[in-house]
Structure 1
Amino acid sequence: MPKISAATVPEHRAQQRAALVRAAVDILAEQSAAAVTPAAVAARAGLARSSFYQYFTSSASLLAAIVEETFTTADAAMSQALDAETDPRARIEAFIRTELDLAAQGVHRPAAALMRADLPGECRDRVHELHQVHYAPLLTAVADLSPVDPELTAQLFGGLLQAAMTAVERGADPEQVATRALNLIHRGLEGEPRA
């Protein structure tokens, strides 16, 4: 029986799978989707190439798993943050703060790499679909405040949020960035014409 590096075989398998995913995300962020090959990912993870196929059938299946896992983690955190909030302004604030906390934790790193990558069409479509689902609570909260064009307003806030996330990922204090971003958003909402 092969030597395992965890208390149980399932834990060992989970660790190996996670190592392959981390390696693929690193390669994706540093190079491209085309560079995410079974051999490159296994080597980066410190595993034999054959180990790759115990967890994924192809590079495309690994990329698909990264897509799903990235958004599942972010969506769970967002759902928890928004559960207690009913006021639209409080929901916007919770959304922004949670996104910046996730950025500080590096949770968005795979999604950002995937959005920039030259993915197979099916993976790219799924990334965009999951991205829209993830941002739906922001759009809903903005729409509840009744601006003339809630979709455009939410897109503009999304652009501001992307810039804020980039600042946090580059080392800016998440609390300071959140305070500044929310100040700009609330000012924008105050001057927003109503439908």
Structure 2
Amino acid sequence: MPKIDAPTIIEHRANQERALLDAARDLLLSGGPQAVTPSAVGAATGLARSSVYKYFHSGEEILTRIVSDAFAEWGAQLRDTVERAETPAGRIDAYVRTTLALAASGTHRIAVLGGSLPRDEGSREQLTRAQHEVTAPLRAALADHGNPDPDLTATLIDGALARAMDLLDAGRSANEIIPATVAFVGRAAGLAQHRAAPRTAKR
């Protein structure tokens, strides 16, 4: 019988699962998605492959879980920052700045490395829901700002953010990329016009 290193079996299983997921994250960051296999994850935690299968059915299931968890952590940090802004325009600005600041710190690497792989339908749906939750604060801010199609605009903004992240990954300075992207999104979303005081017509 395996040694139980927690007060209860439930806590033991939770600890083992967390250790497996932590090892899988390290493998993903160091070796890419192909490095995340039940054998490799088990070896990294001192468990046999057969023991890993008691928690996860496949390497793909492990990848889906750690990417979903990464999106959840990312979304929680975004919501915490965005909700402090007092206006819709300020919330959109905060969403862009926080997203790129997290990207510059490397927080997005798990989602980027594991989130673009072809998967079975159930895994794709799970990751799509996770991604949708991350952009929820942006969609809400756009709607409150009066944008006629918040879903489409959020998708386009996320496209710009993805490209900005690529530039950060390529070594461009965050001090250059973040302000430029904030300004670009502000123009695209009409934030400058919204903030500007109305001009008196010349006679």
1:87-138: CA deviations, max 9, x gaps?
1111111111111122122222221223321222211111111101110111
Correspondences of 1:91-170 after superposition (within 5 Å): 91-170=91-170
| Aligned residue number for residue 182 of structure 1 | 182
Q: Judge conservation of contact 1:42–1:52 (CA < 8 Å) in 2.
A: yes
| Aligned residue number for residue 39 of structure 2 | 39
Q: 1:102 to 1:150 in 2, by over 3 A?
A: same
Please give the alpha-carbon distance, in whole angstroms, between the structure 2 residues aligned to 1:80 and 1:124: 26
| Aligned residue number for residue 56 of structure 2 | 57
Q: Which range moves more in the overlay, 134-143 or 58-67?
A: 58-67
Please give the alpha-carbon distance, in whole angstroms, between the structure 1 residues aligned to 2:152 and 2:192: 12
Deviation for aligned residue 1:37: 2.3
Q: 1:92 to 1:56 in 2, by over 3 A?
A: same
Q: 1:127 to 1:176 in 2, by over 3 A?
A: same
* Higher-Rg member (1/2): 2
Q: 1:87 to 1:122 in 2, by over 3 A?
A: same
Secondary structure of residue in 2 paired with 1:184 = helix
> How high is the sequence identity, in percent, across the aligned residues?
27
Secondary structure of residue in 1 paired with 2:164 = helix
Please give the alpha-carbon distance, in whole angstroms, between the structure 2 residues aligned to 1:37 and 1:108: 21
Q: 1:150 to 1:68 in 2, by over 3 A?
A: closer
Q: Which range moves more in the overlay, 145-154 or 156-165?
A: 145-154
- Number of equivalenced pairs: 184
Deviation for aligned residue 1:25: 5.0
AA paired with 1:58?
H
AA paired with 2:52?
Y
| Aligned residue number for residue 18 of structure 1 | 22
Please give the alpha-carbon distance, in whole angstroms, between the structure 1 residues aligned to 2:178 and 2:130: 24
- What RMSD over aligned residues (CA atoms) do the two structures have, in Å? 3.2
Q: Which range moves more in the overlay, 85-94 or 16-25?
A: 16-25
Please give the alpha-carbon distance, in whole angstroms, between the structure 2 residues aligned to 1:117 and 1:71: 15
Q: Which range moves more in the overlay, 126-135 or 108-117?
A: 108-117
TM-score (norm 1): 0.76
